[in-house]
Amino acid sequence: MTGRWQALLRLLAVQGTWNYERMLGVGMGYAAEPLLEDLKTVDPVRHGEAVVRSAEFFNCNPNLAGLALGATARAEYEDVPGPQIARLRTALCSPLGALGDDLFWAGLVPALAGAAIAAVVLGAGWKAIVVFLVVYNLVRFATAIWALSTGLDAGMRVGAAIGGSWVPRAVARIGPIAGACVGFSVPLVAGWYLRGFGWGGAGGALAIAATGLAMSRWFGPSLSSVRFALLAMALLLLFRGVGL
């Protein structure tokens, strides 16, 4: 099977056509195209069916999408019945979404961001931001390479390959690290920002933070952090405008 690197590069833009109907489907179809190219000469009918299947509804964390892409491409070459491949795609959506979200969005990103922010406050400067970007993208790219090759090697047995891989163990370990990094960075950043405002200013900002926290817990998603900030700024402008 040729086109691995081309498929890998295409996977980096797998969310390019994200929509509420097929979600990642078209992006997966676009990434699958180079992998399915050899099938065109061997079995043109099967190739056409495989292209249709590759662009159907699919959703998961984009960093682990290579597992599903590789597994389904291998299954197409192994002449696995189409409905079975469609079931595999459907079955992979939830676990790949949950594992990827826990690993990246709730783990690696907050851990690295917290560490980078704390490093900036402690004097590392812009180098900490560069290190954050380099490390995050290296991990992301290495994961994409691993995911695609594991999917291609495992085929229909990709579920067992995921279960026995480093991903579940990493998910269990990265959560506490992310919690500690974020917890460490938040008071540091607060102190850094509020240093020039004295105790009165710091108390005011902390009161606003406490109000925002209480209101967002009370009202839930209808009062997001951005909405609370805009509301607070509008109230500030209003009070200043009427001379309070």
* Residues from 6 through 25 that contact other proteins (CB under 8 A): 13, 16-22
Among 98, 145, 161, 232, binds other proteins (CB under 8 A): 232
Supply 65's token pair. Answer: 């999408």
* Residues from 175 through 204 that contact other proteins (CB under 8 A): 175-194, 197, 201, 204
Supply 95's token pair. Answer: 């676990």
DSSP 162-209: HHTSHHHHHHHHHHHHHHHHHHHHHHHHHHHHHGGGHHHHHHHHHHHH
Backbone phi and psi for residue 167, each to the nearest 5 degrees, phi listed first: -65, -50
Among 8, 11, 24, 29, binds other proteins (CB under 8 A): 29
Among 9, 52, 134, 160, binds other proteins (CB under 8 A): 52
119 interacts with other proteins by CB under 8 A: no
Supply 136's token pair. Answer: 């995050």
DSSP 102-140: IIIIIIIHHHHHHHHHHHIIIIITHHHHHHHHHHHHHHH
Kindly state the smallest distance separating residue 13's Cβ from other proteins, in Å.
Answer: 6
Report the interface residues with other proteins, using CB under 8 A: 13, 16-22, 26-27, 29-30, 33, 47-52, 54-55, 106, 110, 114, 118, 122, 175-194, 197, 201, 204-213, 216-217, 225-226, 228-229, 232-233, 236-237, 240
